[in-house]
Amino acid sequence: MGLFTTSLPNFELADFDALTHWFASPLGQHLLGREQLLLDQVLNKRFGYHLLQIGCADIVLGANSPISHRITLQAFRTVAGRESMLADPEALPLATASVDCVVLHHALDYASDQHQLLREAARVLIAGGWLVILGYNPYSLWGLRNKLLRWQLRLPWRASLLSASRVCDWLSLLDFQVDGIRYAEYALPINTSKSWCRFSWFEALATYFNLPTGGIYLIAACKQVAPLTPVRRPRRRNVVAPLGMPVAEPAGPATSGNSAGGALQP
């Protein structure tokens, strides 16, 4: 089974390499810079022991996290020089409640079963752990370009985009509390730096007001702790049977002297 898609056919090693190469292009680097800024703002406040990153390309985004043990799930190969894991993200070989933070870097955009990927992320997270999702926004110029070029099966536009509101609805069903949604990347999705410089003022303004038309979104959600309802034993009323009051025997007439004799003789 390929790592990510059946609904998006033939996502395999060539596609993984193609996305890795695209993120190294000027447009990909511009996007990656915006994503890194958003992610650092979230991860700098999250602590724990283990961080898992699941993505669609050979990219590491959690290097600035205070969590020291970081694992990158790789689709088709292991990467020398850092700890990585070769696995299917929809069936993670990790114990339940064993990870403090999970980062999905466009993993939902290329997943074959988006629900299952979220369920697996929720399963491996500890109670109170954090799920951070980076995805393309369908209601943006990036989403429009994805819709127009998807029929050409070109990466990175060949993706199944989910709106932030739909992802939040799914997370609520998995007992997550969404902490916030941040948008970024308001530049035109074209591979030229002139357009980015021309619209830099608008990008700064839109980022400040967090307009929901950015090309990407970041969702941070906390896995809720299931409330423990104490089992109370029913209170037993101590019913004491009424005790009968002792009945005193009537005292006989007081006698003096010998009752067997007659009257006292003077």
Whether residue 232 is contained in a domain is answered as no
pLDDT in tens, 238-266: 655 555 555 556 555 555 455 444 444 54
What's the confidence (pLDDT) of residue 238? Answer: 60
Whether residue 257 is contained in a domain is answered as no
Q: Supply the CATH number for residue 207's domain.
A: 3.40.50.150
Q: Round the average pLDDT of the chain to a whole number and report it.
A: 80
Whether residue 127 is contained in a domain is answered as yes
Whether residue 6 is contained in a domain is answered as no
Whether residue 253 is contained in a domain is answered as no
Whether residue 243 is contained in a domain is answered as no
What's the confidence (pLDDT) of residue 254? Answer: 53
**Domain total in the chain:** 1
Domain with 62 in it? 13-223
Lowest-confidence pick of 56-60, 78-82, 102-106, 125-129: 78-82
pLDDT in tens, 185-238: 998 888 777 777 777 888 889 889 999 999 999 999 999 976 555 556 666 666
What's the confidence (pLDDT) of residue 106? Answer: 93
What burial class does residue 30 get, using C-beta atoms within 10 Å of its C-beta: 0-12 exposed, 13-18 middle, 19+ buried? middle
Distance CA 53, CA 70 (A): 8
Q: Kindly report the CA angle at 63 between 80 and 132, in degrees rounded to 5?
A: 115
Q: What are phi and psi of 15, to 5 degrees?
A: -70, -40
Whether residue 246 is contained in a domain is answered as no
Whether residue 265 is contained in a domain is answered as no
What burial class does residue 83 get, using C-beta atoms within 10 Å of its C-beta: 0-12 exposed, 13-18 middle, 19+ buried? exposed
pLDDT over 70 at 158, yes or no: yes
